[in-house]
């Protein structure tokens, strides 16, 4: 892709901007289609709000992270008011501030775990699909092992174990992110492999081979861009599922207790669902908000990028 | 006499499928001189494309070259390592595919596809490569090359795409161009244009060309020599003139009779009965005998015909070629 854009940037001098604009890339077509899709745009807005929350959290939040404004004044588990927009929790946290800080954790886990999972999935999918034969066989059997083990259960076990092994200084949230990433690539790898199998048989792959391209070049320059639309969609959905998984893990008490995450807040709210509904409702609402945002975005991207759905 | 550029000796390329071993190319021999155009003719499944892919060593899995020699300027390409072959592909020998709609990568514009190939084989900067690419588009007669080069394949018509594919194949001035049915996917009018283009380019650049086709009409105007393949073997090989005016192999004759012709004014077009045989278990003896109107039990069914030089520079693989020649009522009919 880099070569592509850089060649476009240095056209010969005789070209005017208008003339160059005649080359309509698939990306601009996809964007045009995406813009027409209201649900996808709504997803973009939902995600955008959370990103805004994460970036400007020190400004939006009323108290610094982990401060207990209600502790000294005895305002513990007070319902939402103008002073505490979302109320306070059992030890006097301002729930609103904590929810705002939770945004960056959620995005960190989402993007981090998705990056790890998709990195593995893309590599395994490309190699497996392109080379086929014995390589494919071995990689796909490994993938199947990861597919059949109960994901959440094994994740909890590994988290328990790995927390005892991590050196101090590494944040617990990173461990959770890494673990989620390491255990959620398999499904994506299979889809990408399938897509590679489809693309591999096109004549332009044979054509570039006939013009002297090496295997690595064909994989990364010709096949990867042609399966990129699938990778983008899967990544978006993977982000959503990683955020959800982190919330689940934290809710079950296996997350990192020192991070401010929506899942942790849900867990602490669990003890008093009836008395202090605001403790759980707001973090839960934002988990739903963000996951819904990424899901809508993913579906919108799929509709925009899938070449088979061209109008 | 022109110098020999490529010689294939007894090439065997088999496909190891679940159903059995498909002998797609089974003992093909042919040669191409420098600057010459060879027409490789045969029905679908006769091994034309596999022969060409074998030359470049890019036979798709589960195909494998199991025997023979491919001598390019005296060097056997089958002995070359993969990285040596990568330097030959595109630079010495280039390939044009049948369907331009799928042989160009849809996600890149033409410029980057041409620049990629040029920079693969030549040590030039991006800007120089781009200038070369535009020059190439001019060579393949594309109007407004400076504009069209920024187009993506889906913005171009079929004929235009094939011109782009030709430009890409020619980007490093290969000595040999393998054109695999370059006009089959195109309209008739565009076909003629592309053929003319190939013919002119070949003369301009002095390269040799193998034109693979099932259409006798296509090779007639372009090829210097014709080699007819059937079921993975060579039937007949001679100059274009000889093939058209004095075909000696019954299969070549049958092919010629199946071409619609204004001159002959036949009521009904002749067809060759049956289909190309199953190449997992090909017919015994001459592979054409089940469909051949001259086949003789006990001769054609048993003896595998060898390619023999029956007339000067006219090679035929038919046991009965000389007997039936005298009898054939079709001889010289098309003159």
A94 domain residue, yes or no:
no
Mean pLDDT, rounded, for B21-26: 86
- Measure the CA–CA gap between A287 and A103, rounded to whole angstroms: 9
Which pLDDT belongs to residue A13?
Answer: 47
Instruction: Give me the residues of B, 51-110, that contact A with CB < 8 A.
Output: 56, 58, 60-61, 83, 86-91, 94-95, 97-99, 102-109
Please list, in sequence order, all residues whose beta carbon lies within 8 angstroms of the beta carbon of residue B284, skipping any fewer than 6 positions away. B301, B302
pLDDT of residue A182 exceeding 50: yes
CB B315 within 8 Å of CB B237:
yes
What percentage of residues in chain B have a pLDDT greater than 70?
A: 94
Mean pLDDT, rounded, for B273-297: 80
Which CATH architecture describes the domain B4-229? 3-Layer(aba) Sandwich (3.40)
Which pLDDT belongs to residue B258?
Answer: 77
Instruction: Give me the residues of B, 26-45, that contact A with CB < 8 A.
Output: none
Contacts of residue B176 in chain A, CB cutoff 8 Å? none
Instruction: Give me the residues of B, 167-196, that contact A with CB < 8 A.
Output: 168-169
Which pLDDT belongs to residue A3?
Answer: 43
CB B72 within 8 Å of CB B92:
yes
CATH code of residue A245: 1.10.3720.10
A132 domain residue, yes or no:
yes
A27 domain residue, yes or no:
no
Mean pLDDT score across all residues of chain A: 84
Query: Is the CB of A207 less than 8 angstroms away from the CB of B152?
Result: no
Q: What is the DSSP string of A76-92?
A: -SPPP-SSSTT-B-TT-
Q: Which domain holds residue A169?
A: 49-65+103-260+289-309
Query: Is the CB of A204 less than 8 angstroms away from the CB of B95?
Result: no
Contacts of residue B95 in chain A, CB cutoff 8 Å? 207, 210-211
A179 domain residue, yes or no:
yes
Residue of A15, A132, A207 lying closest to B103 (CB–CB): A207
Mean pLDDT, rounded, for A95-110: 90
ipTM computed for the complex: 0.74
CA count, 13 A, side-chain hemisphere, B312: 0
Residue of B88, B107, B134 lying closest to A226 (CB–CB): B107
pLDDT tens digits for range B187-237: 888 888 888 888 888 888 888 899 998 888 888 888 889 999 888 888 888
pLDDT of residue B335 exceeding 70: no
Contacts of residue A22 in chain B, CB cutoff 8 Å? 147, 150-151, 155
A58 domain residue, yes or no:
yes
A54 domain residue, yes or no:
yes
Which pLDDT belongs to residue B327?
Answer: 55
pLDDT of residue B333 exceeding 80: no
The CA distances from residue A130 to A123, A214, A277, in Å, are 11, 12, 53
**How many domains, chain A?**
1
- Measure the CA–CA gap between B258 and B260, rounded to whole angstroms: 6
pLDDT tens digits for range A132-144: 889 999 999 999 9
CA distance A17 to chain B (A): 11
Which among B161, B62, B207 has a CA at the least distance from the CA of A203?
A: B161
Which pLDDT belongs to residue A296?
Answer: 92
CA count, 13 A, side-chain hemisphere, B161: 24
A5 domain residue, yes or no:
no
Residue of A8, A212, A221 lying closest to B86 (CB–CB): A212
Phi, psi at B41, each rounded to 5°: -115, 145
A169 domain residue, yes or no:
yes
CA distance A215 to chain B (A): 10
Q: Give the pLDDT band of residue B261 (cuts 50, 70, 90).
A: low
Q: Give the pLDDT band of residue A9 (cuts 50, 70, 90).
A: very low
Q: Map out the domains of chain B as residue ranges.
A: 4-229, 231-327
């Amino acid at each position: 892709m880099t070569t592509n854009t850089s060649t476009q940037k240095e056209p010969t001098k005789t070209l005017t901007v208008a003339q160059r604009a005649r080359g309509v890339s698939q990306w601009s077509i996809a964007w045009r289609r995406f813009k027409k899709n209201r649900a996808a745009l709504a997803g973009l807005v939902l995600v955008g709000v959370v990103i805004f929350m994460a970036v400007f959290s020190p400004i939006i939040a009323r108290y610094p992270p982990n401060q207990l404004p209600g502790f000294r004044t005895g305002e513990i588990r007070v319902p939402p008011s103008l002073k505490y927009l979302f109320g306070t929790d059992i030890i006097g946290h301002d729930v609103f501030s904590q929810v705002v800080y939770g945004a960056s954790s959620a995005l960190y886990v989402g993007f981090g775990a998705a990056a790890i999972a998709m990195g593995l999935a893309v590599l395994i999918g490309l190699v497996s699909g392109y080379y086929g034969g014995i390589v494919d066989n071995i990689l796909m059997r490994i993938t199947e092992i990861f597919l059949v083990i109960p994901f959440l259960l094994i994740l909890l076990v590994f988290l328990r174990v790995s927390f005892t092994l991590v050196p101090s200084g590494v944040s617990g949230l990173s461990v959770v992110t890494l673990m989620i990433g390491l255990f959620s690539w398999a499904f994506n790898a299979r889809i990408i492999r399938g897509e590679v199998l489809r693309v591999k048989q096109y004549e332009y792959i044979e054509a570039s081979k006939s013009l002297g391209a090496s295997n690595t070049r064909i994989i990364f320059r010709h096949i990867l861009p042609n399966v990129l639309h699938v990778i983008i969609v899967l990544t978006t959905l993977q982000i959503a599922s990683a955020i959800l998984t982190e919330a689940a893990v934290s809710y079950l008490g296996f997350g990192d207790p020192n991070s401010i995450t929506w899942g942790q807040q849900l867990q602490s709210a669990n003890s008093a669902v009836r008395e202090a509904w605001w403790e759980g409702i707001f973090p839960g609402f934002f988990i739903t908000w963000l996951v819904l945002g990424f899901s809508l975005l993913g579906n919108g991207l799929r509709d925009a990028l899938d070449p088979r759905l061209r109008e | 006499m022109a110098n020999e550029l490529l010689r294939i000796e007894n090439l065997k390329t088999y496909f190891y499928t679940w159903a059995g071993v498909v002998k797609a190319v089974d003992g093909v021999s042919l040669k191409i001189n420098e600057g010459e155009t060879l027409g490789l003719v045969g029905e679908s499944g006769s091994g034309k494309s596999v022969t060409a892919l074998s030359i470049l060593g890019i036979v798709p899995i589960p195909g494998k070259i199991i025997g023979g020699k491919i001598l390019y300027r005296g060097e056997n390409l089958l002995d070359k390592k993969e990285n040596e072959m990568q330097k030959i592909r595109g630079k010495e020998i280039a390939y044009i595919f049948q369907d331009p709609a799928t042989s160009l990568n849809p996600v890149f514009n033409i410029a980057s596809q041409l620049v990629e190939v040029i920079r693969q084989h030549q040590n030039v900067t991006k800007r120089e490569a781009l200038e070369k690419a535009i020059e190439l588009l001019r060579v393949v007669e594309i109007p407004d090359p400076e504009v069209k080069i920024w187009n993506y394949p889906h913005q171009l018509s079929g004929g235009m795409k094939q011109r782009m594919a030709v430009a890409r194949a020619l980007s490093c001035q290969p000595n040999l161009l393998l054109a695999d049915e370059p006009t089959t996917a195109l309209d008739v009018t565009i076909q003629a244009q592309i053929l003319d283009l190939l013919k002119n380019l070949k003369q301009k650049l002095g390269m040799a060309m193998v034109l693979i086709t099932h259409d006798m009409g296509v090779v007639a105007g372009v090829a210097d020599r014709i080699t007819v393949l059937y079921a993975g073997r060579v039937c007949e090989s001679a100059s274009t003139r000889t093939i058209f005016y004095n075909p000696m192999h019954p299969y070549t004759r049958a092919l010629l009779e199946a071409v619609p012709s204004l001159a002959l004014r036949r009521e009904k077009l002749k067809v060759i009965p049956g289909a190309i045989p199953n190449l997992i278990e090909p017919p015994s003896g001459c592979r054409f005998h089940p469909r051949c109107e001259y086949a003789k039990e006990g001769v054609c069914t048993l003896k595998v015909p060898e390619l023999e030089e029956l007339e000067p520079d006219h090679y035929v693989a038919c046991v009965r070629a000389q007997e039936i020649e005298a009898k054939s009522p079709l001889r010289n009919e098309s003159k």
